[in-house]
Chain A
Amino acid sequence: MPELQFCTPQPIESKTALDALLADTGGKQYYEEMKHLPVDTTKLKAFLDKTCKSRIRTWLDICAHCGLCAESCFFYLTSNRDPKQVPAYKIQSTLGEIVRRKGKVDTEFMIRAMDYAWSRCTCCNRCGMYCPYGIDMGVMFSYLRGLLFSQGFVPWEMKIGSGMHRVYRAQMPVTDEDWVETCSWMCEEYEDDWPSLEIPIDKENADILYLVNAREPMHYPDDIAEAAILFHIAGENWTVSSTGWEMTSLSMFAGDWEGCKMQVNVVYEAMDRLRPKRMVGTECGHAFRATVTEGPYWAGRRDGQTPVPSLHYVEWVAEALRTGKLKIDPAKKIKEPITLQDSCNYIRNHGLTQATREIMSYLADDFREMTPNKEHNFCCGGGGGLNGIGRYREQRNVGLRCKLNQIKKTGANQVVAPCHNCWDAIRDMEEEYQAGISWSFLKPLLLKMVEIPEHLQPKEE
């Protein structure tokens, strides 16, 4: 058996290991090694005994095999109704088999389970709403990912993502110093237009602690500036933290539960240290789910709540528009048809159906709903980490057709996507299918339309 250098059950814990794995472009050697990665069946059985309790066992056991979940899944709908894309089939033939065989499965089985867990399910949880028993296969796939991660059967990019969080406490190689520097750089960059613009760092007892997605300092620093300008216009007393500033969790997508806990712990420490009244997180769906919805449980908080009340960006925007902190110039309202992408992670999984619609009522004259919408909306097609996994690009692109059709049917060619993952998926969809659709976060739209208060307007020379 060849020596396993990259593909092992051990998570990435050091920068050296992370860099070495990154150097294996596309995970070529990594996936080669995976074919020889043995399954530790004893450990797998112990894992099941310890963590697979009555909820999941009952779901697997009483599934009536009725097939009512089939049409809830966008992969099924876009794969010519392939029976092998029925959610119940997907979970029964993977996790179901592992549980029934009490962990006695082989390498080939685990690789197939990995392919199913990351390329045939985005953990969007839609099927759970269509099962008469309320069997949530998204929850089970998420559990299966944890099981696969513990044995080392995880897509290359997910292994890297988990390693990033373990090494940097961020999904990308952005250190706390890089983050703080980016904030001051952005202030300098925008100081001509906004002379008094600040990004307050580590201010205690602020009204708002703002958290971001590490992609923003890494690739889209203007997003941070836009957030700062909007807080500035709204007159908010806000701050960012120099540590625990990143709210995403590729660890969650990877199934690295230990890593999830490490990540949210630094965020909650920042909340405890700075004692803000509230936390507002950026326009990201999974980041919100990780830090606000699931995170408290990883951190062992029995009430399931974050240390301070937490809002998704759309909640803050809706509130700011409602209370008049942000005012939209009526002349600048969007006249052309525009639609809205509901992110699974804060709509289906956090009930924020109304906030986004309230926002749209301020921004657009011709807002078109997708069908179905709100908590019944389909995943963008790239959720659960799928956007980032090269091995499954083809499957991802097939799945994107569901969203493409939904958008086309609205007659709008602009989509508001207040979620990094949805935003990416729609961008890639446009690249792949060239349907003439444009996409945007809320921040740039708001900045184009918001009224600037007198005292912040540029002084005439």
Chain B
Amino acid sequence: MYDLLTGPVFVLAFAFCVLGLLVRAVWYIKGLDWQLDRVAYTRFPKHGAKGALRSIGHWILPFGSRNWRVKPVFTIVFFTFHLGLILTPLFLQGHAVILHQRLGLSWPAIPMELADALTIAVLITGGIILVRRFALPEVRVLTTAYDIFLLLLTLAPFATGLLAVQNVPGYIFWLYAHIILGEALLIAIPLTKLSHIVLFFLTRAQIGMDFGIKRGGMKGRGISW
């Protein structure tokens, strides 16, 4: 069972995630239309590239954009959450071991203590984000059951993974739950708005090109994000 879940099932889930994201990226780019979007995407590659990179750069860095600076607490919560979400699964020692066993890859890993701390940080910041959804009227009005489901699905592999490594009773249960939920998350990524893993970069690049090519990028000093 363990070999099946961490072998072929994992490979399938992972491939589905990567290919799915690729499909979404291709569909997005193919659907951009210079006339409907009113952006001369291909005519000014230099201004377009500059606009796209500035747009991504200012928003991928904490406090890089005005809105990140206006809301420092949320910004710290948000970036901690995302940092943990990305680093922990990619560089967990347990995951590196599986990669080594299955593919012979020597994969870098972070210390266990750091992984634990990041996992706890993800759960805490995820919790704050969940509470924020209900506490703030301007967020509550937008929140749907689907948003809650996705947030819980995202947190689930972290919660179960943490329980598994802490040797709480029912280790095998938590381990299997962790693997299955992690794979469910991988499958959900391209199918849901979690696809922003890739689409964040593309939508930011698009609006950056819009500002860089059309809305002043060729005349002024460039938009101040």
Contact = CB atoms under 8 A, between A and B. Distances in A.
A134 B206 contact: yes
B142 A92 contact: yes
Contacts of B216: 348-352
B149 interface: no
Interface string A274-308: 00000000000000000001100110101111000
A134 B207 contact: yes
A54 B219 contact: no
Interface string A248-266: 0000000000000000000
A374 interface: yes
A62 B193 CA distance: 5
A64 B215 contact: no
Given A136-B207, A351-B216, A67 B193 contact: no
Contact of A302 (B34, B140, B147): B34
B155 to A, nearest CB: 15
Interface stretch (B5-13, B95-103, B197-205): B197-205
B78 to A, nearest CB: 8
B220 interface: yes
A434 interface: no
A134 B203 contact: yes
Interface stretch (B115-123, B131-139, B156-164, B174-182): B131-139
Interface string B12-30: 0000000000000001111
Given A89-B141, A132-B67, A304-B39, A65 B203 contact: no
A64 B66 CA distance: 19
Interface stretch (A2-10, A79-87, A405-413): A79-87
A136 B223 CA distance: 14
Interface in B17-50: 27-40, 43
A53 B143 contact: no
Interface in B175-199: 193, 195-196, 199
Contacts of A64: 147, 193, 196
B223 to A, nearest CB: 6
A135 interface: yes
A81 B200 CA distance: 28
Interface string A52-95: 01110111011111111011100010000101101011001000
Given A53-B33, A55-B37, A293-B214, A129 B223 contact: yes
Contact of A67 (B34, B55, B136): B136
A134 B204 contact: yes
B39 A65 contact: no
Contacts of A130: 66-67
Interface string A109-120: 000000000000
B196 A297 contact: no
Contacts of A297: 34-35, 38, 40
Contacts of A132: 59, 67, 200
A84 B142 CA distance: 9
Q: How many of chain A's residues touch chain B, expressed as a range?
A: 35 or more
Interface string B210-225: 1101111101111111
Nearest to B27: A54
B215 A293 contact: yes
B139 A66 contact: yes
A221 interface: no
B39 A58 contact: no
A353 interface: yes
B203 A294 contact: no
Contacts of B204: 133-134
Nearest to A59: B203
B167 interface: no
A67 B142 contact: yes
A67 B139 contact: yes
Interface string B56-81: 00010000001100110010000000
Contacts of A303: 40, 43
Contacts of A72: 67
A361 interface: no
B215 A349 contact: yes
Contacts of A129: 66-67, 223, 225
Most buried by B among A129, A134, A300, A348: A134
Contact of A62 (B137, B141, B196): B196
Nearest to A68: B67
B208 interface: yes
A133 to B, nearest CB: 5
Interface in A354-376: 354, 374-376
A84 B92 CA distance: 43
Contacts of B219: 350-352
Nearest to B67: A130
A51 interface: yes
Nearest to B195: A62
Please list the 9 inter-chain residue pairs (A to B) with the smallest Cβ-Cβ separation, ordered nearest first: A351-B216, A54-B31, A351-B220, A134-B207, A83-B141, A304-B40, A65-B142, A67-B139, A297-B38
Interface of A: 51, 53-55, 57-59, 61-68, 70-72, 76, 81, 83-84, 86, 88-89, 92, 128-136, 293-294, 297-298, 300, 302-305, 348-354, 374-376
29 contacts: A54-B27, A54-B32, A55-B37, A55-B203, A61-B193, A62-B195, A63-B142, A64-B147, A64-B193, A68-B67, A76-B138, A81-B138, A88-B142, A133-B200, A133-B204, A134-B55, A135-B207, A136-B210, A297-B34, A300-B35, A304-B38, A349-B216, A350-B215, A350-B216, A351-B221, A352-B219, A354-B220, A354-B221, A376-B66
